[in-house]
Amino acid sequence: MAVKDIKKLSLETLAQEQQRPTADEAIRLHVKGESRFICDEPKPERLHYATVVVSPYAHARIKQIDAETAKQIDGVVGVFTWRDIPGENELGIKIKDEPLLPENIVSYIGQPVAVIVAATPAIAERACQAVSVDYEVLEPILTIERARAKNSLLAPEFGLSAGDTEKGFAESDYVLEGVITSCAQEHLYFETQRVRAIPGEGAEMLLQSSTQSPSEVQTLAARVLGVDRKDITVDVKRLGGAFGGKESAAGLWSCLAALVCYHLKLPIELKLSREQDMAWTGKRHPFESSFKVGFDKAGRIHAYAVEFDADGGACADLTMAIMQRAVLHAENAYHIPNIKVLARPLKTNIAPNTAFRGFGAPQGVFVIESVIQRIARKLGKDPLEIRKLNAYQEQDGAPYGQQLHEANVLPLLERLEEHTDYQVLKEKVREFNRHQRFIKRGIGIVPVKFGISFTTPFLNQGSALVHLYADGSVSVSHGGIEMGQSVNTKVARIVAAEMGVPLQRVKIESHNTKRTANTSPTAASTGADINGNAARNAAREIIDRLRPLAVQLLERKYGHAAKRILFENGYAFSADAPQERLTLRELAVQAWQSRIDLSAHGYYSTPRLNFDWETGRGTPFSYYVYGCGLVVAEVDLLTGYVTLKEAHLIHETAQTVDERVDRGQIEGAFIQGVGWCIFEEVVYDSQGKNLTESLTTYKIPAIGDIPEKWSIEMIQAEREFAGVKGSKAVGEPPFLYGEAAFFAVKDAIESIWDYTIEADLRMPATPESVLRAIDSVSNKRA
Amino acid sequence: MKLTVNGKVHQVTEEQSRMKLLRYLREVLNLTGAKKGCGIGICGTCSVLVDNEVKAGCQTTVAEVAYKEIVTIEGFHAKDGGLHPLQQAFIDHGAIQCGFCTPGMVLTAHAFLLKHPNPTREKIRSAITGNLCRCTGYQQIIDAIEAAAVYYQNVPISEQ
């Protein structure tokens, strides 16, 4: 094919495409209902269905499993227990305390003890009922209090400190102590846990798993089957939501499917119903934290000591890492010279609590923010004044020694104050409350400083594989998982910009462990940073290989020397003669015919990171995300019902890769945070059974719950310390603004008696909780 | 028994007539656009249109809707087969994150706009109250529906 015959893309069309805020192809598929989630792919021939027999007891010894009746049911092809595990019966990564199927002891309700495979899901369910398991019931530990009393730990307690807290307390005008609790939260990803296991030839197996950690699923499946990782391929196209709930928690279900697939050599589908998913899987860790704070008359904090007790559930899972992040966010946005933080990862008999957006930071921050509120109350000052007084300054250091750089907590709080006309707003709210007897309003404010990077330093690496095809289109595989956060859109934009191709010509492939290996979970808000940078490196490498050829071809075509070659809008041209150009397509064809490699593997590891838990010192974060939020809530004192009247969020995105995507993340994270703080309540009965296992008993925010007036300001200023292409990670930090809703509700309740008494409002501030808090104030007065 | 789905007539067996519509669509017709979210008719993820009314596919049996016109997300598009302006609005306003609730959300919005082409934001909120989304803060969904309303105001119903 002659170069001149290649059809040229018209510049006008390209310009139009650039104007419309483009979306990657998958978004178009979503809106047409054509996008395929796990188990939406056409059914493979002879697909069979797996379901699990689970423990009905929170703590018990398995005496006998009798599956003979179940095996006789027509359509049942197998029943499997721990005896059938050919490799190691272990799912724990760092702490090995989680069997795939327990041999002796079950340690939470919903823990799988046997897997049944049948021709249809209905037969499999029926067979489950026919399996009889004989248990000796043991005493469970179901509360943080009990676990603490019994010293039931998943791992040793740990912490960090800076300065001298005892000296700090001694030098303080006031010292306050107390206990702050925060609650669990159900992920409620819309797509429940699911997997398809498809046998290949020999030892090959393909796992189409709804996981944020394909490499972990691969590792665990290989471990329990006793095969090499090379034999297991994990492929993930996209997830219907995850929020941390499919980071480590997906491993169990994938390995169960892999186990039965290994034995039966049949394609297997394992999919949890909503009720099963809610009843059997772990949640956000509830924390119970005791604190002691010392401060002066002005409200400046001199010393802060806090002990976090987290309900980790039945096995370690990610509890240690989650508590590490809580510890590293204990001081939130405040400079506290003397600080001591202790974390106690408690073991109880409920489903292993796990990663959930924010990963311990929301819990840690909730404590210090509650403490700030109490300091303000003690001094009769506005909490905002205490926040501003203690806010980190530009060059302060965190308790663990990291220099903060570009810490703009105070300017952001001042901006929020100005933007909301805070003093006037506050007066309006007070005026409203003076005139309303049964409806009260309150204001809550929370600033956020959120550290970006996995606190386990080695995880901060990304990889990608980029192919430029000879028609000028581009295929990108990267280590991230698309789960609604639009990491694919961001990576596509980054590659498109780097290679100068229109976005429509970049395809983001499924995550596949054969194309990207040893990947980190898509978590800690790092997905776009580490994988976007890796993809960018790969794209740059290919473009660099094309440059010399572009010089040659341009010179041949236009007859004079080409200098600095630029790649834009599908063209390569010399910077000094932009109208004399080659299409990327003709360049790619020529490169291919000239035997130039058009594929590249890209790699990125986040620089400068190191942290030592032995000393509690180092640089755990690549940079911080700053922001603040203000919420005005209205409380109906008769029903306890809460309405959000206003929300104003100021959030630092730096040089965003996609403004629309970031806006969506800020809004969605905030509302999910509001859900945690005021709507969503996980309830267990006295035996450890989850009573909130459907949407009839567990409420997530609906469209009517969003603030009536809602503003978001994205601070896009250039930052020296930021992520990919000068942007900042956005997935988790805005979740914390939701806490402002809690403080707004509390403020509204406390207005009843003119702010003279503190209401004992517990998270989540559901109508029941609000009514109880009102009663507690009434009782105090009585 | 016969069932019309996206303009195509299907002969329904006795056994199929007892199935939930969602299961029939997904497993018999391989139309996987409608998703199962909660299974109890609360989340709106399985919404489909039955004679232009929103129905929860997980709560409706096939027999109940026999001889009616079913439209699933796969059958919803502009006259020329391209993206319907409502779908384009969802894209343009960032109303989609993981995409799982999107088909139900789009169809519910469509049924609403057919009846209320001049909605206030307040009205949109109450119309979508039966469709949950765990990713977004709903704001961009409201923006999309509000923007798409212009189309419903200007195009005759027969053309929509």
DSSP string computed for B85-135: HHHHHHHHTT--SS-SSHHHHHHHHHHHHHH-SS--HHHHHHHTTT---SS
- Whether the Cβ atoms of residue A500 and residue A572 lie closer than 8 Å to each other: yes
**Residue A494 and residue A724: Cα distance in Å, rounded?**
9
Work out the percent of chain A whose per-residue pLDDT is above 70: 97
User: What percent of chain B is helix, strand and coil (3-state, nearest 5)?
Assistant: 40, 15, 45
Please tell me the distance from the alpha carbon of residue A707 to that of residue A684, in angstroms, as a whole number. Answer: 30
Contact residues, A window 472-531, toward B, CB-based 8 Å cutoff: 483-486
Looking at residue A560, what is its pLDDT? 85
B28 in a structural domain: yes
Domains A141-186+283-390 and A461-605 share a fold: yes
**Residues of chain A with C-beta less than 8 angstroms from the C-beta of B72:** 33
The pLDDT of residue A21 is above 80: no
Instruction: Please report, for residues A78, A276, A589, A747, the alpha-carbon distance to residue A47 in angstroms, rounded to integers and kept in the order given.
Output: 14, 21, 43, 56
**Mean pLDDT across chain A, nearest whole number?**
95
Q: Tokens at residue A523, please?
A: 């978590």
* ipTM reported for the complex surpasses 0.95: yes
pLDDT at B155: 80
**Number of domains composing chain B:** 2
Strand order in the sheet with A571-574: A565-568, A571-574, A577-583
Asked if the C-beta of B39 comes within 8 angstroms of chain A's C-beta atoms, the answer is yes
Peptide bond before A764: cis, by omega within 30 degrees of 0? yes
Return the structure tokens found at A2: 């002659």
Provide the token pair at A632: 């005005």
CA dihedral A418, A424, A425, A427 (to 10 degrees): 150
Residue A14 has pLDDT above 70, yes or no: no
Residue B68: count other Cβ atoms within 10 Å of its Cβ.
15
* Alpha carbon distance A134, A154 (integer Å): 27
pLDDT of residue A616: 95
Q: What angle do CA A313, A319, A321 make, to 5 degrees?
A: 175
Nearest to A516 by CA among A483, A484, A471, A475: A475
pLDDT one-digit tens code per residue, A734-751: 999 999 999 999 999 999
Work out the pLDDT band at A23, boundaries 50, 70, 90: low
Contact state of A695 with B38 under an 8 Å Cβ cutoff: yes
Q: Cα B27 vs. chain centroid, distance in angstroms?
A: 18
Residue A477, beta-bridge partner list: A465
Domain-embedded: residue B139 = yes
CATH value at residue B131:
1.10.150.120
Of the options 3.30.70.100, 3.50.30.50, 2.70.150.10, 3.30.365.10, the CATH number for the domain spanning A461-605: 3.30.365.10
What pLDDT sits at residue A561?
87
Helix (H, G, I), strand (E, B) or coil at A461: strand
Report DSSP letters for A575-644, one per residue.
Answer: TTEEEEEEEHHHHHHHHHHTT---EEEEEEE-TT-EEETTTTEEE--SEEEEEEEEEEEEEETTT--EEE
B10: domain range?
A: 2-75
Query: Which residues of A fall within a CB distance of 8 Å from B46?
Result: none
Examine the domain organization and report whether B65 and B89 are in the same domain: no
pLDDT (mean) for A576-580 = 93
Whether residue A71 contacts residue A113, with contact meaning beta carbons closer than 8 Å, is answered with: no
**This prediction's pTM:** 0.96
| Residue reference for tokens 């419309």 | A20
Region A371-387: mean pLDDT is 98
CA nearest to B97 within chain A: A484
- The whole-number pLDDT of residue A6 equals 29
What does the pLDDT read at residue B159?
Answer: 67
Please tell me what DSSP assigns to residue B28: I
Mean pLDDT of A408-427: 97
- The pLDDT of A330-346, averaged and rounded, is 98
**What is the mean pLDDT of the segment spanning A100-117?**
98
Q: Are B58 and B20 in contact (CB under 8 A)?
A: yes
pLDDT tier for residue B158 given thresholds of 50, 70 and 90: low
Between CA A658 and CA A666 the distance in angstroms is: 12
Residue B53 identity: E
CATH entry, A403-457+613-782, from 3.30.365.10, 3.30.70.2660, 3.30.450.40, 3.40.1160.10: 3.30.365.10
| 3 state SS of A105 | strand
Enumerate residues 6+ apart whose C-beta is below 8 A from A219: A229
| Burial of A152 from C-beta contacts in 10 A (0-12 / 13-18 / 19+) | middle
Residue A660 has what pLDDT?
94
Domain end, chosen from B52, B75, B98, is at B75
Q: Which one-letter DSSP state was computed for residue A205?
A: E
Banded model confidence at residue A25, pLDDT cuts 50, 70, 90: confident
- Residue A487: per-residue pLDDT: 97
Cα angle value B3/B5/B8 (rounded, 5°) = 90
Which sign, positive or negative, has the C-alpha torsion A95, A101, A106, A112? Answer: positive
Choose from B30, B139, B140, B145 for mutation: most chain A CBs within 10 A: B139
Whether A732 is catalytic: yes
Backbone angles phi, psi at A431, to 5 degrees: -65, -45
Which amino acid is residue A598, in one-letter code?
A: L
How much is the pLDDT for B156? 72
The answer to the question of residue B54 being in a domain is: yes
Q: What is the pLDDT of residue A664?
A: 97
Residue A84 — very low, low, confident or very high, per pLDDT cuts 50/70/90?
A: very high
**pLDDT-based confidence at A782, cuts 50/70/90?**
low
Cα separation, B74 vs B82, in Å, equals 12
Tokens of B30: 């391989």
B-interface mutation test, from A19, A22, A27, A31, most B Cβ less than 10 A away: A31
Q: How far apart are CA A404 and CA A680, in angstroms?
A: 34
DSSP string, A163-197: S-HHHHHHT-SEEEEEEEEE-------SSPSEEEE
Identify the pLDDT of residue A62. 98
Measured CA angle at A385 (ends A380, A391), to 5 deg: 135
Query: CA-CA distance, A761 to A751, in Å (whole number)?
Result: 13
Q: Rounded CA gap, B40 and A397, in Å?
A: 51
The count of CB pairs under 8 A between chains A and B is 147
B125 and B93 in a single domain? The answer is yes
Q: Which of A1-10, A529-538, B35-44 has the lowest mean pLDDT?
A: A1-10
Span A110-125, pLDDT tens digits: 999 999 999 999 999 9
* CATH class for the domain made up of A48-139+193-271: alpha beta
Q: Does the structure show a pLDDT above 60 at A170?
A: yes
Question: Is B99 among the domain residues?
Answer: yes
A2 pLDDT band, cuts 50/70/90, is very low
Task: State the average pLDDT over residues A582-605.
Answer: 97
CA atoms within 13 Å, Cβ hemisphere of A507: 10
Q: Of A30, A33, A668, which has the smallest distance from its Cβ to B137's Cβ?
A: A668
d(C-alpha A18, C-alpha A8), whole Å: 17
A608: left (phi over 0), alpha (psi -120 to 50) or beta: left
Task: Please say whether the beta carbons of A467 and A474 come within 8 A.
Answer: yes
Q: What residues have CB less than 8 Å from A618, skipping those under 6 apart? A: A400, A401, A402, A610, A611, A612
> Between the CA atoms of A70, A72, A73 and A75, what dihedral angle is there, to the nearest 10 degrees?
110
Looking at the fold, whether B40 and B70 belong to one and the same domain comes out as yes
In the prediction, which pLDDT does A22 show?
A: 59
Q: Of B19, B35, B38, which to mutate for an interface test with A (greatest number of A Cβ within 10 Å)?
A: B38
Percent of chain A scored above 90 by pLDDT?
95
CB-count burial class (<10 Å; 0-12, 13-18, 19+) for B49? buried
Task: Give the three-class secondary structure for A767.
Answer: helix
Q: Does B43 touch chain A (CB under 8 A)?
A: yes
What CATH number is given for A141-186+283-390 in this structure? 3.30.365.10
Task: Report the distance separating Cα B109 and Cα A576, nearest Å.
Answer: 51
Cβ contact A498:A542 at 8 Å: no
Among residues A771, A749, A752, A762, the alpha carbon closest in space to that of A678 is found at A762
Cross-chain Cβ contact A703/B140 below 8 Å? no
Smallest Cα–Cα separation from A479: which of A448, A508, A449? A508
Contact B97 A668 (CB under 8 A): yes
- pLDDT tens for residues A380-414? 999 999 999 999 998 899 999 999 989 999 999 99
pLDDT score recorded for residue A4: 32
Query: Is residue A700 within 8 angstroms of chain B, CB to CB?
Result: yes
Q: What is the CATH number of the domain that holds B43?
A: 3.10.20.30
In a domain? residue B101: yes
- Inter-chain contact A241–B128, Cβ cutoff 8 Å? no
What was the pLDDT predicted at B160? 67
The span from the CA of A350 to the CA of A107, in Å, is: 7
Separation of CA B102 from chain center: 9
Regarding whether B29 and B11 lie in a shared domain, the answer is yes
Residues from chain B contacting residue A273 (CB–CB below 8 Å):
39
Distance CA A268, CA A51 (A): 10
Last residue of a domain, one of B75, B109, B139: B75
Q: Flag whether B80 is in a domain.
A: no
* Residues B144 and B100 both lie in one domain: yes
User: How do residues A685-741 score in pLDDT, each as one tens digit?
Assistant: 999 999 999 999 999 999 999 999 999 999 999 999 999 999 999 999 999 999 999
Residue A771 tokens, joined = 């009514």
Residue from A331, A732, A739, A750 carrying the catalytic annotation? A732
Nearest to A332 by CA among A360, A292, A307, A297: A360
SS3 A512: strand
Q: Where are the domains of chain A?
A: 48-139+193-271, 141-186+283-390, 403-457+613-782, 461-605
Over the stretch A347-365, which tens digit does the pLDDT of each residue have? Answer: 999 999 999 999 999 999 9
What's the pLDDT score for residue A7? 31
The residue among A186, A172, A151, A366 whose CA lies nearest residue A280 is A186
Final residue belonging to a domain, choices B57, B75, B93: B75
- pLDDT value at residue A20: 47
Q: How far apart are CA A182 and CA A738, in angstroms?
A: 13
Q: Are strands A461-468 and A599-605 parallel, antiparallel or unpaired?
A: antiparallel
- Copy the structure tokens of residue A98: 């989680």
